Amino acid sequence: MIRKNPSGDLPQIHPSAFVDPTAVLCGKVVVAENVFIGPYAVIRADEVDANGQLEPILIGAHSNIQDVVVVHSKS
C-alpha cells in the first residue's frame, strides 16, 4: 500500500524495485533501483520533528528490506 503522509508527500519508487503488495510505504520514502521490500514491511516517513521538518527515508540501490521489517524516522 502506498500512502500519503499528512503533508501530502507520496513515496517515490524506482520502476525496477519490487514492493510486496502487503507492504506499507507512507510519506517521504525514496526507493532506488533493484530494491526488494518484502511482505508486511512498513516504511514510514510521516512525522515532523519539533521544528516542523520532515526528511525522507532513502532506501539505496540493491537494498533488501525483509518480511515484517519496520522502518520509521522522525527528523
Domain count across the chain: 1
Q: Name the residue with higher pLDDT: 59 or 6.
A: 59
pLDDT per position as a tens digit, 8-56: 999 999 999 999 999 999 999 999 999 999 999 999 998 888 888 888 9
Q: pTM for the full model?
A: 0.91
Host domain of residue 6: 2-74
Across the beta sheet with 24-27, the strand order is: 2-3, 24-27, 42-47, 70-74
pLDDT per position as a tens digit, 48-58: 888 888 889 99
**The domain spanning residue 15 has which CATH number?**
2.160.10.10
